[in-house]
Amino acid sequence: MSERYQLVDMAETGPAAVRTALANQVAYCRANDAPVTARVVAALAALLDKPATDFARRIADWDGMPLADALPLRAAGGIHALHLSGTASELAPIYANAEDINDAAIVAGVVRRHEAALLPWLDGPPQTNEAGRSSNFVAAMLWLVEQGLPPRFQCLEIGSSAGINLMLDRYHYDLAGVQVGPQPGVMAFTPEWRGMHPPQHKIAFESLKGCDVAPVDLTDPAQALRLKAYIWPEHDVRFARMEAAVAAARAKKPDLVHMNAADFVEAELAKPQAAGTTRVLMHSIVWQYVPADQQARVTAAMEAAGSAATPDRPLAWIALEANRTLHRHELILRYWPGGDTPQMLGHAHPHGAWIEWLAKP
């Protein structure tokens, strides 16, 4: 089996799992238009041949599940932060995607010289927040309205990070000609559309609220810089979006609470739901970071609430998550009453560049 499509076990641990996680991340980045990030991760993998620093040894001896913990991206985020801050100018050729340079030697030298700054980046998972993913949520909501659910949404998001997707009601979307949201909007998204266009409906938002175990305050420059370090450097448009999101948050902060996913979902589902609204749980590229026991609690809470849902107070679950074996992102939806079997609505670029719509009208 090729490296790109090797089977992976998210729960695997040990030294071999670390190497598998790094190799998988390299393949994943290459498959998702991120050659520079792939180069950085490959150079980090080379450190494991002869771990010569505490940083390399901590990666090699990772005490946990390296793929589920997003270990490669934790380390790559630290390297990118050094580049963004101008602290390690020798990284510039890699981030310029220059040819004929020794990536491994450059990164090894940077790690030696900046180990104290890099070690804290291994302490927690990446904060991945991308406004472009909101196009998937909106397309899924249009599809729900087509199924007869109320077009007014009460949105709950887990793993909200800085809450950028909690401001999706302020953005404008052109989804294969289907127009949604204010014009011009804080940001505008026109993803490349593959397949039939989504249904055309008017939708509105009752509320948008989210949680994160380590929420990021976009109005704090230091926290915003940390979030930028997790942006794949190849995608210039994402940095412009981040600046727009910072400005939007300064104008009105998103409704974001410090809470884990299971506690948040259970608490919110216990609250009354207004008649004529569709309550929807949504998340993107976060499920792999949610501990297994919390995944089980979220699923149980959603299914229990779904069993009590009515046509006037329905419940939906929209997930845009990574298939780490096929290196693609899948938009999957469930709703109650009537659609509790998971349905794949499409595939999507992880940062919103394109959507391949598979859903039937």
Regarding whether 117 and 158 lie in a shared domain, the answer is no
Please report whether residue 27 resides in a domain.
yes
75: nearest Cα among 106, 50, 41: 41
> What are the tokens at 265?
């979902």
Q: Is residue 274 part of a domain?
A: yes
Q: End-to-end distance of the chain based on CA atoms, in angstroms?
A: 36
**Above 90 in pLDDT, residue 235?**
no
On the question of pLDDT at 159 being above 50, the answer is yes
Q: How many structural domains comprise the chain?
A: 2
Confidence band, pLDDT 50/70/90 cuts, at residue 255:
very high
The pLDDT value recorded for residue 5 is 38
Judge if 241 and 155 occupy the same domain.
yes
Over pLDDT 70: what percentage of the chain?
Answer: 96
Confidence of residue 87 (pLDDT cuts 50, 70, 90): very high
Last residue in a domain, options 122, 156, 187? 122
Given 122, 154, 184, the domain boundary residue is 122
Q: Tens digit of pLDDT for each residue in 202-222?
A: 999 999 999 999 899 999 988
5 assigned to some structural domain? no
pLDDT at 10 over 80: no
140 in the same domain as 107: no
For residues 118 and 138, membership in a common domain is answered with no
Band of residue 125 on the pLDDT scale cut at 50, 70, 90: confident
The span from the CA of 218 to the CA of 309, in Å, is 35
Position 10 in a domain: no
The residue-averaged pLDDT of 254-277 equals 98
pLDDT tier at 2 (50, 70, 90 boundaries)?
very low
* pTM of the predicted model over 0.75: yes
What residue numbers bound the domain in which 211 lies?
A: 131-357
Final residue in a domain of this structure, among 67, 97, 122: 122
Query: Given pLDDT bands bounded at 50, 70 and 90, which one contains residue 289?
Result: confident
